[in-house]
A and B are shown apart, each in its own frame.
Chain A
Amino acid sequence: MGRVKNRIRKLRFDHNEMTQEELANRVGCTRQTIIALEQGKYVPSIELAFRVAKAFNVPLEEVFQHDA
């Protein structure tokens, strides 16, 4: 099985240095989950992944990549 990587940290900084708290409020999760996502310690559900992509206004694959 591959790993799911993401560019959340970079996208946050590209979006006016959005804080983890702000992103968490936008996508409806806790800040600790955003931290875990950025550290690659949690793979989100497809629904949360879509919400994160929507928060940055980018397609899903621009946020999450699968290392097969």
Chain B
Amino acid sequence: MAPLQKRALYSLVVGLALALLLITVLVRQGDVTAFHRNPSLRLIMYFVMIGVPISYVLLVSRSLREPTQVDERDKAIIERSGWTPWLATILSLVAWTLALTEAYWDQGQVPVAFLNLILVSALIVGSLAQSLGILLGYWRMNRDG
């Protein structure tokens, strides 16, 4: 397994675990208003919002600088998988928009807490899709050449 492929697999596993953890926390807290009631939950969310993109940028930029870690074949795979985070993020935004519109149409307003949830989910979905795109890229390259 190529170093980048391993990194993508770890990111996928960590990202899925993080997503499941957040969903579990929200479900156990009852609903999205837990965000207002529980300051520590808000802190965790803020940490995820800031920590995920920073650690992602640091990890990717560091690995891209090492020739023994990422070579021209890996870079070709990264380039080919560039569309996956965009598509996944847009699809998640579409899903949020449809769901929130249908759920809160009568009230005419959406709770502010959803802003944070939308951002966190977009970050998580984007990074998961990037990892998945890279893994799919390796799979396709090994299959088709």
Contacts and interface: CB of A to CB of B under 8 A. Distances in A.
Given A30-B3, A30-B68, A30-B69, A42 B74 contact: no
A40 interface: yes
B65 to A, nearest CB: 13
B141 interface: yes
B71 A30 contact: yes
B68 A25 contact: yes
Interface band, chain B: 10 to 19
Interface of B: 1-3, 5, 67-74, 141-142, 144-145
Which of B2, B71, B145 has the most chain A CB within a 10 Å cutoff?
B71
A41 B72 contact: no
A36 B71 contact: no
B71 A33 contact: yes
Contacts of B69: 30
